[in-house]
């Protein structure tokens, strides 16, 4: 089946299996994905995956296809892993920033200074931590979020952060409705674990 479509289909499948595909990274590849949505979906179904494509937002990714009762024992290719407290808290704050940005700005891209993120995260922990150490640990959390594909660093100093639109797909409207409750849980967790005066990842 793949050979019927030349090189385009294998290339698309490889990039999708490697991670999130963004329109801005390669316009031509993105257009190929739009043109070959059907064949891509057909092939992915064979291995228990499906394509999730947000054309307006300009990104696409793969997820496990919902299994039938007969397929319940079939192993899943994409394994979901729990996020640490610090990563979850940062994603929550970035999603809130994106919602505020979309409501008040005509700019599509959301870019935040790294120091703003450090200050924002600092409000959820009691005082007493060494400032340099705290900044370094937030940098580590930011790197984990970048590895997940939700942000990218801008500039050689990495002092500016672009929040990727794909965050909206993973932290959705239902999650935001529970935001205040989650924040209370996060704050309580942070206070409890500040006895060591450092961010403690689960």
**What CATH number is associated with residue 136?**
1.10.10
Tell me the pLDDT tens digit for each residue of 19-70.
889 998 899 999 999 999 999 999 998 888 999 999 988 999 998 887 666 6
Q: How far is Cα 112 from Cα 115, in angstroms, rounded to an integer?
A: 8
**Among 98, 139, 92, 95, which Cα is nearest to 115's?**
139
Q: Look at residue 59 in the predicted model and tell me its pLDDT.
A: 92
Tell whether 137 is covered by a domain.
Answer: yes
Q: How far is Cα 130 from Cα 162, in angstroms, rounded to an integer?
A: 27
Tell whether 127 is covered by a domain.
Answer: yes
Q: What is the mean pLDDT of the chain?
A: 82
Examine the fold and report which residue of 39, 71, 103 is the final residue of a domain before the chain moves on. 71
Claim to verify: residue 111 and residue 187 sit in the same structural domain: yes
- Record the pTM: 0.72
Q: How far is Cα 122 from Cα 90, in angstroms, rounded to an integer?
A: 11
Claim to verify: residue 137 and residue 176 sit in the same structural domain: yes
Tell whether 76 is covered by a domain.
Answer: no
Q: Find the domain containing 184 and state its range.
A: 85-196
Tokens at residue 71, please? 């397929």
Claim to verify: residue 101 and residue 159 sit in the same structural domain: yes
Claim to verify: residue 120 and residue 24 sit in the same structural domain: no
Which residues 6+ apart lie within 8 Å of 171 measured at CB?
A: 91, 92, 95
Claim to verify: residue 23 and residue 119 sit in the same structural domain: no
Identify the band that residue 196 occupies on the pLDDT scale cut at 50, 70 and 90.
very low
Q: Look at residue 199 in the predicted model and tell me its pLDDT.
A: 47
**What CATH number is associated with residue 39?**
1.10.10.2250
Three-state SS annotation for 28-69: HHHHHHHHCHHHHHHHHHHCCEEEEEECCCCEEEEEECCCCH
Tell me the pLDDT tens digit for each residue of 109-123.
899 999 999 998 888
Tell whether 117 is covered by a domain.
Answer: yes
> Domain count of the chain?
2
Tell whether 77 is covered by a domain.
Answer: no
Claim to verify: residue 57 and residue 157 sit in the same structural domain: no
Tell whether 80 is covered by a domain.
Answer: no
Q: Look at residue 79 in the predicted model and tell me its pLDDT.
A: 67
Identify the band that residue 197 occupies on the pLDDT scale cut at 50, 70 and 90.
very low
Diameter over CA atoms, the chain: 63
Examine the fold and report which residue of 43, 71, 99 is the final residue of a domain before the chain moves on. 71
Tell whether 39 is covered by a domain.
Answer: yes
Q: How far is Cα 121 from Cα 115, in angstroms, rounded to an integer?
A: 10
């Amino acid at each position: 089946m793949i050979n019927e479509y030349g090189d385009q289909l294998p290339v698309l499948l490889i990039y999708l299996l490697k991670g999130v595909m963004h329109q801005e990274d390669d316009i031509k590849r993105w257009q190929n994905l739009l043109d070959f949505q059907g064949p891509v979906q057909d092939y992915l179904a064979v291995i228990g995956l499906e394509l999730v494509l947000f054309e307006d937002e300009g990104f696409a990714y793969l997820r496990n296809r919902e299994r039938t009762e007969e397929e319940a024992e079939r192993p899943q290719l994409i394994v979901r892993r729990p996020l640490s407290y610090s990563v979850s808290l940062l994603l929550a704050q970035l999603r809130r920033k994106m919602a505020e940005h979309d409501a008040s700005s005509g700019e599509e891209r959301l870019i935040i200074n790294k120091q703003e993120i450090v200050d924002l995260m600092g409000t959820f922990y009691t005082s007493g931590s060494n400032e340099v150490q705290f900044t370094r640990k937030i940098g580590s959390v930011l790197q984990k979020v970048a590895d997940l594909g939700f942000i990218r660093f801008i500039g050689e100093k990495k002092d500016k952060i672009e929040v990727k639109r794909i965050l909206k797909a993973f932290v959705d409207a239902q999650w935001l409705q529970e935001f205040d409750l989650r924040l209370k849980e996060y704050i309580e967790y942070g206070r409890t674990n500040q006895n060591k005066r450092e961010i403690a990842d689960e």
